[in-house]
Amino acid sequence: MITRTRCGGFGLAALLALPATLAFGGDTFNSLVKTGDAVPDAPAGTNFSSVNLVGVDSSAGMAFVGSFTLNGSARSGLYNYHNGTVSPIASISTAGPSGEQLTSYIGGGDYLPGGLIVFASNTSSGKTLYRYTPGSGLSTLVRQGDVLPGSPDGAGVTNFFNRGISGDGLDFAFRAARSDSSNGLYQSVGGFGMQVADDKTRSGVAEMGNFIDFPELNYRDGSMAFIGTGQDPDDITLPPEPAGVFVMRPGNPFEIIASRNMVIPNAHDDGERFTEFERPRILPDGRVGFAGGFIEEASGSTDHHMGVWIRNPDLTWKIYIDSDMNLAGLHAPIQEFNQYSVETSTNFFGVNDENGGSYIYYESDQGIFTDLIDTYQQLDGKDLASVRMVSDTAINGELFFRASFTDGTSGIYSVNVPATVPEPAMVGVLALLTGGTLLRRRHV
């Protein structure tokens, strides 16, 4: 069975009278940090050139990456914003456990309760994977050059990657490039990292052969979801392609959640088969989500069917949103979904359209999708180039997102989404204006 949400009618957003707290125009979104703000642990006059959201926590606040120039060199660090104050988590003022100096942020996982985060940074002694624990500071997990159990003899870690790092207070997972030019996927048990897959591991997907790389992953409660790429072993001249979404669970071999050439849920026909996979995520209840879908790969074709797909433990699917939906406020057809957040009281989705516009939508408990903000508007009186959320992006209806502007500046904002259950009188109006069909979840 497939559970799905539908939405129709481009006029719905205008119909629903949004409270003043959501009026567009810039003065009702809360500006938290932005280009031009002072870097707290740098010499006076040093300002952020760009900021990027990492995650949020209800008690610790917000984690973000701030980039800046110091003595002619590009630098970046991991910072916290809480109650109007910016402070460093791991930046140029931070010394690692062995006295190394942190110079630039590489990537990290979710911002966990209390402000704990697993991340990687460039340092004066090489690239390093850390865990930051509030009150205890940094602990080193893996260093550049380490040869971990399961790796080829002498093949040490050479690099870590954004979207390839995740972890909690006990264990962690990461993707690494190695000195033998191969890529490895690692997960720790009891705090000790070990290889779980590399280019000698069969993907288990038809015509994909062995894994080539592992561009994205997410770790939670001892399990890891990851994207694997593969290559047709009968034609090694072809480029690597996404092979699917996979999960490693304690004591089990990896499980295929969705694979290349598998028919997508609710496909128009059996020719619509998965070709794209992004943003894997293990949800709190153990379900596995990802964004992606079908893109016709024939030259000149624009056919596609993209969505946010959740695989249930009983092997059924839940579709929160897909490109068949006629979302209110769209300026062009949906191209893809760049992010999703479905773990709190309100669901949020990042959308790209075929003209290069980007949007953030939120969904009410009635299945009504509302355009919260998009790049066809202005924010803070400036033209938007993109709006982006992250999966760790919402707290009880408050959304945090990054805005990039056409003048090259950026900022991180928050906005509270109000209760979205229509009043009884409004339900009747909605039914009339949508042909008698309410826009809510249904089974198909």
Name 269's Cβ contacts closer than 8 Å, sequence gap at least 6: none
Phi, psi dihedral angles at 377 (to 5 degrees) = -110, 180
Dihedral of the CA atoms 394, 13, 267, 391 (nearest 10)?
-10
Phi, psi dihedral angles at 434 (to 5 degrees) = -115, 25
Nearest by Cα to 283 from 353, 341, 198, 238: 341
SS3 20: helix
- pLDDT for position 7: 39
User: Which stretch of DSSP H or E encloses residue 427?
Assistant: helix 424-433
Q: Count how many Cα atoms sit within 13 Å of the Cα of residue 127 in the half-sphere of its side chain.
A: 18
Name 76's Cβ contacts closer than 8 Å, sequence gap at least 6: 65, 66, 67, 68, 91, 104, 105
Whether 216 and 228 have beta carbons less than 8 Å apart is answered as: no
184 burial (CB, 10 Å; 0-12 / 13-18 / 19+) is buried
Whether 179 and 156 have beta carbons less than 8 Å apart is answered as: yes
Among all chains, which residue has been given the structure tokens 């609710």? 266
The amino acid at 86:
V
* pLDDT tens for each residue of the chain, 444 residues long: 454 443 333 333 332 333 333 344 333 899 999 999 999 999 999 999 999 999 999 999 999 999 999 999 999 999 999 999 999 999 999 999 999 999 999 999 999 999 999 999 999 999 999 999 999 999 999 999 999 999 999 999 999 999 999 999 999 999 999 999 999 999 998 888 999 999 999 999 998 999 999 999 999 999 999 999 999 888 878 889 999 999 998 888 899 999 999 999 999 999 999 999 999 999 999 999 999 999 887 666 678 999 999 999 999 999 999 999 989 999 999 999 999 999 988 999 999 999 999 999 999 878 899 999 999 999 999 999 999 999 998 988 899 999 999 999 999 999 998 754 444 443 333 333 333 333 332 222
Phi, psi dihedral angles at 18 (to 5 degrees) = -75, 140
Residues paired with residue 47 on neighbouring β-strands, in sequence order: 38
- pLDDT for position 419: 58
Give Cα 50 distance to the centre of its chain.
19
Residues 50, 97: Cα–Cα separation, whole Å: 28
Name 286's Cβ contacts closer than 8 Å, sequence gap at least 6: 221, 223, 313
pTM over 0.85: yes
Among all chains, which residue has been given the structure tokens 């456990």? 97
- pLDDT for position 297: 72
Name 82's Cβ contacts closer than 8 Å, sequence gap at least 6: 60, 61, 62
Among all chains, which residue has been given the structure tokens 């409270």? 19
Whether 329 and 371 have beta carbons less than 8 Å apart is answered as: yes
Name 72's Cβ contacts closer than 8 Å, sequence gap at least 6: none
Residues paired with residue 147 on neighbouring β-strands, in sequence order: none
Residues 82, 127: Cα–Cα separation, whole Å: 28
Residues 102, 265: Cα–Cα separation, whole Å: 45
Q: Count how many Cα atoms sit within 13 Å of the Cα of residue 361 in the half-sphere of its side chain.
A: 27
SS3 12: helix
C-alpha gyration radius of the chain: 22
Sign of the C-alpha dihedral, residues 44, 50, 56, 58?
A: positive
Total Cβ atoms within 10 A of residue 285: 8
- Residue count of the chain, please give it: 444
